[in-house]
Chain A
Amino acid sequence: MSSNRSKPHGLLAEFHTAADIFEAAMRCRDAGFTKWDVYTPFPIHGMDEAMGLRKSPVGWFTFCGGFTGFFTGMTMIWYMNKFDYPLVVGGKPLFTPLFAFPVSYEMTILLSAFGTLFGMFFLNQLPKFYNPLFKNERFKKSTDDRFFICIEATDPKFGTDATRTFLTEKCHAAVVELVED
């Protein structure tokens, strides 16, 4: 429960429809907030533009994973079958990229997938088991059928009363509550 020493984490505004939160997000973006986020039970189409987010860089992690996978596969097969212990089997060449391709291809996909997954975790800073928002009972509905915006107290434009007024009057939030850190 709240005590005098606890710091505010931010203001949590609740919305009831996808259209409401979509408009509110555009208003927050235009008002120039930087430390804020939208919380929805499913990804809303067009929300990245409404929030003014840049394109997700996950693809770079995928690429690095895939690149590593392909060359690991090729190098591994070359090293094992041609360099370290050359052994003629069925009169076939000791190494060609042709027979090494299926395995290298699978390695490409395997490491791309790991790159994608861990890249996404890294960018999202997951797992993160403590989050001040979890203390709010209403916020449990963010994975059900409610939509939330949280403007954090560390935002330079944040002022408890001014931001509360902004969220209720400009953004038409249904409920606005203070969340403590």
Chain B
Amino acid sequence: MASPGKSAAVKAPEPPAELVREPLVLNNRSLGWITNAIAGVCEKPMPIWWWPAFIVSVGGMLTMFSLIAYLVSTGVGVWGLNHPAAWAWDITNFVFWIGIGHAGTLISAVLFLLRQKWRTSVNRAAEAMTIFAVACAGIFPVFHTGRVWFALLPGYLFPAPNANEIWPQFRSPLLWDVFAVSTYGTVSLLFWYVGLIPDLATLRDRSKGLMRRFFYGLFSLGWTGSNRHWSNYEKAYLLLAGLSTPLVLSVHSIVSFDFAVSVVPGWHTTIFPPYFVAGAIFSGFGMVLTLLIPLRSLFKLEDVITLRHVELMCKVLLATGSIVGYAYGMEFFIAWYGGSPYELYAFKNRAFGPYWWSYWAMISCNVISPHFFWFKKLRTSVLFVWIVSIFVNIGMWFERFVIIVTSLHRDYLPSSWGYFTPSWVDVMTFVGSFGLFMTLFLLFIRFLPVIAISEVKGVTPQADPHHPLGGAKGHH
């Protein structure tokens, strides 16, 4: 408790009621309470539900790895893709996972630069989600090459000459993508780790067990909370946020170049970069809500991840969902207005061709569902928000499926048209990637603070030396 005796003596002038913002931490919790509530999650033994969830997730993860072993030992033919749809679930899953990753960096970097203080309660979990989603994303493009040792050997992905002394060729957006995604994964990890250092020090100072003390001590690097350190730390954090902002916008733009730079009808459009970025943020916030709504109630963190946080994230869903809906409409308009019969056919085929069901699944999940959030009553009903967030995840998977498969399966030459059906290996590898994602996320809950402790403390009134709750004595 921050010296109640001193603050009780002071009467600060009350601002008018309509100007009072809802506090970021409810019930006027003390600094010590924040430490106990958040550090307590990973210090106490995990609740009983954690174990079945973990076992199922590990099962999914192992399924995915065994199916990848099957793929590598047999060939890419075990997946359903073939000509004309040489990219199908693999690249759909890649774009799906990398898109989910975008919310973490958006929350941690863009909202930091915009001084949106509410981000402090959700950025840690969102960044963790980003890193785990990027890990899931990376698997698909690597293994869709089939003979993966060729992809990983010099000359294809990495800038080193191959057996014929030929270098990778940098005119291809696929190679840009390698650099974009690997940079994104690395920088997200660095940013996450920098944010973790002070909290790892908190855990080090609280933990009793030898193992925990050793590892938290090792990774907190001897952090003391010295202000000379904070000064450099805050500057570094600001710079990393400044670097991550153009990074997050560039990554999904470059992912969209994989399609937009080609000449396939339905892919060759200039709207792709902003449309992909908005979609990525939309899907990422969907996943953040899917994960955090159960987390806040299972661990009783409602005072830190408040209803206001949920509501604000719903507004982000509404805004980005509207951009995505606009992009769908604009694509159709340009297909007609552009006057190319192939382009127009590609879009007619999307909505009314053999994959009509995936198109309308996408439209109902992405265009209709976010518009419920115009209503405050629905934004503040956590169960409803959670259900809609799952629809957003489903819709965004379908969006990538629609873009990739419906464009490829019928392009210029009707004689080479075809229909793609996934094999069971396709389906189970994708399901298994959720196992990997959830395994990593559950381990994160088990060992690391799910909310940025020091950052949340920093936005409380107790942290402000000029606020009565921070101990200020009137006149300021």
Contacts and interface: CB of A to CB of B under 8 A. Distances in A.
A109 B183 contact: yes
Contacts of B240: 113, 116-117
Interface string A5-29: 0000000000011111111010000
B227 A38 contact: yes
B205 A143 contact: yes
B170 to A, nearest CB: 5
A87 B155 CA distance: 14
B462 A18 contact: yes
A89 B170 CA distance: 10
- Of B168, B217, B224, most A-chain CB atoms within 10 Å: B224
Given A105-B250, A114-B190, A117-B236, A19 B179 contact: no
A16 B471 contact: yes
A110 B35 CA distance: 33
A110 B166 CA distance: 25
A45 to B, nearest CB: 7
A142 interface: yes
Contacts, number: 225
Interface string B187-227: 10011001000100110111000000000011001111111
A19 B471 contact: yes
A8 to B, nearest CB: 18
A102 B226 contact: no
A17 B228 contact: no
Interface string A99-113: 110110111011011
A40 B6 CA distance: 20
Nearest to A96: B171
A180 interface: no
B236 A18 contact: no
B180 interface: yes
A47 B168 CA distance: 51
B228 A124 contact: yes
A116 B175 CA distance: 26
Contacts of B236: 56, 58, 116-117, 119-120
Contacts of B230: 40, 43, 47
The B interface is mostly helix, strand or loop, or mixed, namely helix
A41 B454 contact: yes
Interface in A57-100: 58-59, 62, 76-77, 80-81, 84-85, 87, 89-90, 92, 99-100
- Of B218, B230, B464, most A-chain CB atoms within 10 Å: B230
A80 B159 contact: yes
B32 A144 contact: yes
Given A20-B471, A42-B457, A142 B175 contact: no
A45 B231 CA distance: 10
A89 B169 contact: yes
A53 interface: yes
B465 interface: yes
A132 to B, nearest CB: 11
B250 A102 contact: yes
B86 interface: no
Given A56-B231, A113-B240, A81 B169 contact: yes
A17 B221 contact: no
A140 B239 contact: no
Given A109-B247, A143-B202, A80 B167 contact: yes
A140 B206 contact: yes
B202 A18 contact: no
B6 A17 contact: yes
Interface of A: 16-23, 25, 37-48, 51, 53, 55-56, 58-59, 62, 76-77, 80-81, 84-85, 87, 89-90, 92, 99-100, 102-103, 105-107, 109-110, 112-114, 116-117, 119-121, 123-124, 126-131, 133-134, 140-145
30 contacts: A17-B470, A18-B471, A20-B3, A22-B465, A37-B228, A39-B226, A39-B227, A40-B230, A41-B225, A43-B458, A44-B463, A58-B235, A81-B167, A81-B169, A84-B167, A100-B170, A102-B179, A102-B257, A103-B175, A113-B244, A117-B190, A117-B194, A117-B236, A126-B223, A130-B222, A133-B224, A142-B224, A143-B202, A143-B454, A145-B2
